[in-house]
Amino acid sequence: MMVLEIIEYIIRLILSPPIFAPIIYPGLVTVLVILLSIIWVERKIAAKVQLRYGPLYVSKPIGGALQMLADATRFFFQEIIVPRDADSIAFLIAPAASLVLPLLPIVFVPAAPSFVAISVEYSLPLVLAISALTPIVIIVMAWAANNKFTIIGGIREAFMVIAYELSLFISALAMAIFYGTLNLEDIVSMQKSLPGVILNPLAAITFFVAMVMATSRLPFDIVEGEQEIVAGPFTEYTGILYGLVMGAGYVQLYILCLVFVELFLSGWYPYIGLLGEIYPALGGVSLFIKAYLLMVFIVFLRSVYGRYRLDQAISIGWKSLLPLSLASVFLSLGLLAAGVVI
Amino acid sequence: MEQSSLTFRYKELERAWDGEKVYEVFIGPQHPASGHMRFIVRLDGDIIVNVEPDIGYVHRTMEKLAETKEYIKSIPLFERATIIDSNNITLGYVRALEKLLGIEVPPRARYLRTLLSEINRIASHLYGLGLAGIFINHSTMFMWGFGDREIWLQLAEELTGARLTHTYSIPGGVRSDLPQDFKDRALKAIRYMERRLKDYMKIFFNNPVTVARYKDIGILKKEDAKRLGIVGPNLRASGVRYDARLVEDYGAYREIDFEVPVREEGDALSRLLLRIDEIKISMDIIRQVLEKIPDGPILAEKYLRLIPPKLRKTMEETGRVKFPGLFASLRPPPGEATARVEMGHGEVFYHIISDGSPKPYRVRIVTPSFRNLLLLRYLPVGHRFMDFPAIYGSVDYFPPEADR
C-alpha cells in the first residue's frame, strides 16, 4: 500500500497548480511543443506564400513536421566553439539565461480561473518586468563574444529596447487603469462578456507593435541584421548554444502573446466547463488557442515585410507608439469618466 | 572645375575620418547576400564615412585565358563572366569578331539573338530584384524573383538547349532555330509575368517598409552618373537616356519599335522600378520579335557553303547548326574591332586585337558591373550603416562579372 500511496502522492504533486503550471502547462513542456511546432508553421507559411514546399523530407507523410526535431538533434551534436578572445563564462551562461529569463514570467501568468503557479496581486507588471530583463542578457552576449558584428548587434538591441519598452508598459497599464487592477486573473475575469480590444483598440495596436519589436520579428528584426552584421549578437554561437538563443525569441513571443490575449482578447473565455471538470487548466484551453493563432499571425509577417532601418524603428517607437500609448491611457480614463462599467 | 555634390560630400566626410573615431566593419567575402566580394565599411557612429570595395575574389583571368584559345572557344568562356545573362555578354564578343571577319548576319539570326537577349535581360533583372528583396530581408520578393526567373530559363532552354550556358550566338548567326510552338509558350510566359509584376508591386514595391528603406536612399544625380561613367539601369534611373541598344546597330533593335524607360529621381527605389519598366519593355520586344521574325537561314551564307551537303540537310531538318570545320581555326585579318552590347546590368564593351593568328592577340572586356562598382564607393557615404545593403541591392552589382 505504501507504493500506491507514494505514486498517488507524486501524481497529486504533479497535478497541483504550483508544479503543473510551470512544468507542463503553460510552462516548459508546452513551450517545447510550441518551439517545435511554431518554427515549422512559420517555415510552411512562408513557403506557401513564396511558392515553395518548405520543410518536407524529414517525415514526408506529415509534411516535414519533424524537421525541427531533426534540427534540434543536430544542434545538440554540433561542436560548441568558444572564441579565444571571448569572455568564456559570460559567453556560455548568457544563452541559457536568455532562454530561462523569458520563460520565468510563466509562473505569474494564469492559465485558467485561479490556476496559476504563484498568485500575486501585481502579476501584470511582474510579467512585463521579468520579460524586460532579456535584452540585458542579449547585450551581455554581444559583449562577451568580443566581435565587431556582435557588438553592433548588442548596441542595436539596446536602441530597440528604449524604442518599444515604454510603449509596451504604458499600453498594458492603460488596460490596468481601465479595469482598476494589476492582477491578470482579475483583468481576464472582467472581459467575460466584452474583450478589451473593443474597449481600447489603441492600446491593443500599440501593445501589438511593441510586442513585435520586443520579439525581433519582421519588420523589426533589426538586431539580427543578417545582411550587414551576420547574425548580430548571436554571430559567434554554434551548436546547442545557438539553438538556445534562437529558441529564446520564440519563448518571449509566446509569453507576450499570452499576456496580449489576457489583456485584450478575453483570455480563457469562452471557458469550456466540460474540460475544466477533468482538470482546471484544460478549461482555459481557448487562451492557448488564441495565443497560438496570434503567434502564427506574427510569424506570418515575415512573408509580407522587409526590415525597417534602425533609426526608422526608433522613430516609430518614439514618434508613433509612445503618443499612441499615452492616448490609450487617456482613452481608458475617458471611458472611466464616461462611466463605462464592465 | 566645379565639384558635384556627391564627391564633395565624400571628401568632406573622408576628412572627418580619423583613425580613432572610426569603426571598421568587414562585409564579405562570405556573406549571405553580397556574394564573392568584400567591403571594408568605416563607420562614425552609425554613419558610413568610407567604403572600400575589395574586389577580385572571383577573378578568373578571362582576358588572358582568351589569348590562349582559338576565337570560337572564348564564347563559352566569356559566358561564365555573367552566367545569368550569358547571351548578352557573349554577343558583344561575337559582334566584334564578326566585324573583324567582315561577316553579315542573316536577318532571322539577328531576330533570334534579340529574342534570347531579351529573355536573358528579364531573367537577369528578376535575379537583381530578388537580391534587392533579400538585402532588406524581404524573403518573399527573393523567392518570387528567383522562382519566376525559372520560366524564362525554361524558354531559353527550349530555344538553345541550355538553361544558362546557351552559347547561342556564334560568328555569322545563331546555333539553333526557333522550335515549334515556341511562340505560344513565350506568349504564355509573358501573360504570366504581367500578372506577377502586379503581385510584385503589391507585396514589395508598394510595401511601406520597402518604400521607407529604398526611397530617397543613395541618390545618384544626373551629372554624377555621367561623370562616373555609370551604365545601364543605374544610369537611366538618374535621368540619362543612354542605352547601347539605341546607339549601336545590332540585333533587330533598329526594326523594332521600343522605348527605353528613363526615370528622373535617381534613388534606390527608382533604380529598382526602372528594372520593372525594362522587364515590361523586354516582354514587348519579345512579342514584336515573334511577330516580325523573317524566314531564312540562321547562319551566314559564307559559312553555310562550307558545310557538307548531307549535314546541311540534317541542319535544315533539325534546325540546329553544325559547325563548319573552319570554326576550329578562324583567322581574322590583323586589325582591331570593338563592339558594345546592352546587358541587363548595363553596357558591355569588347575590344579585340587580332594579329592574323587563330588566337586573339588581346581581348579587352569592360563589364557593366565593373563600371557600376564606383557607385558602391560613393553612394553609401553619409548614409546609415543599414542603408548599405539597400544601396548594394539597388545597384544590382554582380561580382563575377566585374572580376571577370
Q: CB under 8 Å, gap of 24 or more: what pairs does B313-319 form?
A: B319/B176, B319/B177, B319/B178, B319/B179
What is the value of ipTM here, to two decimals?
0.85
Minimal-distance CA residue of chain B relative to A159: B46
Compute CA distances B215 → A10, A335, B276, B386, B394, whole Å. Answer: 63, 41, 16, 14, 11
Q: Which residues of A touch B32 (CB under 8 A)?
A: 226-227, 230
d(CA B252, CA B115): 9
**Cβ-count burial B129-164 (b if 16+ within 10 Å, e if not):** bbbbbbbbbbbbbbbbbbebbebbbebbebbbeeeb
d(CA A312, CA A314): 5
For A306, the closest of B31, B33, B136 (CB atoms) is B136
Q: Does A226 touch chain B (CB under 8 A)?
A: yes
Q: Which residues of A touch B211 (CB under 8 A)?
A: none
Q: Does B45 touch chain A (CB under 8 A)?
A: no
Q: Which three cell numbers stand for residue A13?
A: 504533486
Q: What is the mean pLDDT of residues A240-253?
A: 88
Verify whether the Cβ–Cβ distance A148 to B24 is below 8 Å: yes
Which one of B51, B134, B138, B394 would you mutate to disrupt binding with A, by most A Cβ within 10 Å of its Cβ? B138
Compute CA distances B211 → A1, A281, B133, B345, whole Å. Answer: 73, 46, 12, 22
What's residue B32's pLDDT? 61
Sorted by where each begins, the domain ranges of chain B are 62-403
What's residue B14's pLDDT? 60
Is residue A65 scored above 90 in pLDDT? no
Verify whether the Cβ–Cβ distance B136 to A227 is below 8 Å: yes
Q: What is the pLDDT of residues A192-210, one digit of tens each?
A: 888 888 888 999 999 999 9
Is residue A297 scored above 90 in pLDDT? yes
Q: Which residues of B touch A311 (CB under 8 A)?
A: 46, 384
What's residue B16's pLDDT? 57
Q: Does B210 touch chain A (CB under 8 A)?
A: yes
Q: Does B389 touch chain A (CB under 8 A)?
A: yes
Verify whether the Cβ–Cβ distance B139 to A229 is below 8 Å: no
d(CA B49, CA A62): 52
Q: What is the pLDDT of residues A110-151, one digit of tens each?
A: 888 878 888 888 889 999 999 888 889 989 988 888 888 888
What's residue B304's pLDDT? 80
Verify whether the Cβ–Cβ distance B384 to A304 is below 8 Å: no
Q: What is the pLDDT of residues B263-315, one digit of tens each?
A: 988 889 999 999 999 999 999 999 999 988 888 888 888 888 888 888 878 87
Is residue A58 scored above 50 in pLDDT? yes
Q: Does A148 touch chain B (CB under 8 A)?
A: yes
Residue A146 and residue A234 in contact, taking contact as beta carbons nearer than 8 Å: no
For A308, the closest of B32, B204, B209 (CB atoms) is B209
d(CA B326, CA B265): 51
Q: How many CB atoms lie within 10 A of CB B313?
A: 11
Residue A190 and residue A179 in contact, taking contact as beta carbons nearer than 8 Å: yes
Verify whether the Cβ–Cβ distance B388 to A226 is below 8 Å: no
Sorted by where each begins, the domain ranges of chain A are 84-337
Q: How many CB atoms lie within 10 A of CB B35?
A: 17
What's residue B3's pLDDT? 47
What 8-state DSSP symbol labels residue A219? Answer: T
Cis peptide before B333 (omega within 30 of 0): no
Q: Does B203 touch chain A (CB under 8 A)?
A: yes
What's residue B2's pLDDT? 44
For B46, the closest of A50, A219, A310 (CB atoms) is A310
The pTM of this model reads 0.89
Verify whether the Cβ–Cβ distance B32 to A226 is below 8 Å: yes
CA atoms within 13 A on the CB side of B120: 33
Q: CB under 8 Å, gap of 24 or more: what pairs does B225-229 form?
A: B225/B266, B227/B4, B228/B374, B228/B375, B228/B378, B229/B371, B229/B374
- Give the amino acid at B401: E
Return the percentage of chain A with pLDDT > 70, whole number.
99
What's residue A209's pLDDT? 92
End-to-end CA distance of chain B: 34
Minimal-distance CA residue of chain A relative to B212: A308
Minimal-distance CA residue of chain A relative to B43: A152
Verify whether the Cβ–Cβ distance B27 to A309 is below 8 Å: no
What's residue A273's pLDDT? 75
C-alpha A267 chain-centroid distance: 15
Q: Does B206 touch chain A (CB under 8 A)?
A: no
Could you tell me which residues are beta bridge partners of residue A312?
A: none
Is residue A63 scored above 80 in pLDDT? yes
Is residue A80 scored above 90 in pLDDT? no
B325 Cα to chain A: minimum distance (Å): 47
Residues of chain B with pLDDT under 70: 1-20, 31-35
d(CA B172, CA B106): 8
Q: Which three cell numbers stand for residue B65?
A: 585565358
Q: Which of 281-310 (A) contact B at CB < 8 A?
A: 302-310
For A306, the closest of B46, B209, B385 (CB atoms) is B209
d(CA A321, CA A315): 9
CATH number of the domain at B62-403, out of 3.40.50.261, 3.30.70.890, 3.40.50.720, 1.10.645.10?
1.10.645.10
What's residue A254's pLDDT? 92
Q: Which residues of A touch B213 (CB under 8 A)?
A: 306-309, 312
CA-nearest of A111, A75, A97, A114 to A237 is A75
Q: Does B26 touch chain A (CB under 8 A)?
A: yes
Q: Does A46 touch chain B (CB under 8 A)?
A: yes
Minimal-distance CA residue of chain B relative to A308: B209
A154 Cα to chain B: minimum distance (Å): 13
Cβ-Cβ contacts under 8 Å for B316 (sequence gap 6 or more): none
Q: Does A232 touch chain B (CB under 8 A)?
A: no
Is residue A271 scored above 90 in pLDDT? no
What's residue B52's pLDDT? 86
Which one of B22, B383, B386, B387 would you mutate to disrupt binding with A, by most A Cβ within 10 Å of its Cβ? B386
Cis peptide before A26 (omega within 30 of 0): yes
Q: Is B366 strand, coil or helix?
A: strand
Cβ-Cβ contacts under 8 Å for B378 (sequence gap 6 or more): B6, B7, B10, B224, B228
Residue A121 and residue A183 in contact, taking contact as beta carbons nearer than 8 Å: yes
Verify whether the Cβ–Cβ distance B386 to A228 is below 8 Å: yes
Q: Which residues of B touch A46 (CB under 8 A)?
A: 139-140
